[in-house]
Amino acid sequence: MNKIPSVDLRDFLSDDPSRKEKFTREIGKAYEEIGFVALKGHFLDDALVDDLYEQIKKFFSLPVDVKEKYEIPGIGGQRGYTSFGKESAKGKKEGDLKEFWHFGQYVEDNPALEAEYPDNVMVSELPEFNKVGETTFKMLEKTARYVLRALALHLGLEETYFDQYIKNGNSILRPIHYPPIQTEPKNAVRAAAHGDINLITLLMGAQGRGLQVQNHEGQWIDAIAEPDELMINVGDMLSRHTNNKLKSTIHQVVNPPKELWGTSRYSIPFFMHPVSDMKLDVLDSCIDENNPKQFDDITAGEFLNERLVELGLIKK
């Protein structure tokens, strides 16, 4: 496969059973073969997208000392600001050429989870930044819920199987700024080759070149979405839960050609995480003679902690 398949969520949401079945079949096939789809028909409208980009550009344009006061120690970068070069891919010592912000879950009716998650960080200089971030978080979470319902059907599970695990889940909205490149990077790219930790990732801002996906032949292919599409990929948690039936695909963000080094790049992934006590044990329906169980039993919280240590974001 050398092109990212495109699907339309409106098929799944329609009252026509054949359209719903078509979407389920197409997204299931894409996630088994390449692990990525471009999705139309999501819940983000153009005005919200424009507002979000305006706010994140304002935030990343703030003076460094202002941004750094929103970098919260001791929480592994799970909320607020993470400064340039702090995060590196698993197994890579060079820091990625990016800075980013994290909006986290807006917990409803669950004091225990409210106590477990760090508080969202409010930017006093930009009150609209906080409002637009929350609205975007909720619209992407809603989109992700329906994608996971389609995948539940594809896996032979009850349609709402994932709902209980993603309600108040430990999800993250991450606006990223890749600043202009000033000097020839030594072994560093904007985001080194990696797989995502979570269930699924919904990416805004994949319209320009930069994002590349590794297909099963080991070839890197450009993943470019249309302006009205989100790029959505399988993360390691879902791959593990399905015994690698649904593929968590290695991807990277490469540096632009030298003539474009003076430009910033923005992208905004939404990492859909479940609640931390979700068991990621391999589903029985994904084990057979040809596909024996590949992964040990683990909870989502334990798996996340392991990976944050590997990424250098928290200490053992």
Residues 267-291, mean pLDDT to the nearest whole number = 94
Q: Examine the pLDDT at 256 and tell me if it is beyond 70.
A: no
Q: Examine the pLDDT at 245 and tell me if it is beyond 70.
A: yes
- The percentage of residues in the chain with a pLDDT greater than 70, rounded to a whole number, is 88
Give the model confidence (pLDDT) of 103-117 as tens digits: 999 999 999 999 999
Confidence at residue 222, expressed as pLDDT on a 0 to 100 scale: 85
Structural domain tally of the chain? 1
Query: Can you give the CATH number for the domain in which 123 is found?
Result: 2.60.120.330
Q: What average pLDDT is seen over the chain?
A: 88
Within-domain flag for 131:
yes
Q: Provide the token pair at 79.
A: 């909320």
Give the model confidence (pLDDT) of 114-152 as tens digits: 999 999 999 999 999 999 999 999 999 999 999 999 999
Residues 235-248, mean pLDDT to the nearest whole number = 95
**Distance of alpha carbon 223 from alpha carbon 297, whole angstroms:** 33
Q: Provide the token pair at 59.
A: 């935030």
Task: Show the domain range for 128.
Answer: 6-310
CB atoms within 10 A of CB 78: 17
Q: Is the pTM of this model over 0.85?
A: yes
Within-domain flag for 139:
yes
| Dihedral sign of CA atoms 184, 192, 62, 264 in order | positive
Q: Examine the pLDDT at 206 and tell me if it is beyond 80.
A: no
Within-domain flag for 316:
no
The interaxial angle of helices 46-60 and 127-154, nearest 10 deg, is: 130
Residues 154-181, mean pLDDT to the nearest whole number = 94
Burial 100-128 (b: 16+ CB within 10 A, else e): bbbbbbebeeeeebeebbbebbebeebee
Residues 208-217, mean pLDDT to the nearest whole number = 78
The answer to whether 5 and 37 have CB atoms below 8 angstroms apart is yes
Give the model confidence (pLDDT) of 37-86 as tens digits: 999 999 999 999 999 999 999 999 999 999 999 999 888 788 999 987 65
Q: Examine the pLDDT at 89 and tell me if it is beyond 50.
A: no
Closest CA relative to residue 97, chosen from 314, 312, 252: 252
**Distance of alpha carbon 254 from alpha carbon 75, whole angstroms:** 28
Within-domain flag for 293:
yes
Within-domain flag for 124:
yes
| Dihedral sign of CA atoms 189, 238, 267, 33 in order | positive
Within-domain flag for 315:
no
Within-domain flag for 40:
yes
Within-domain flag for 1:
no
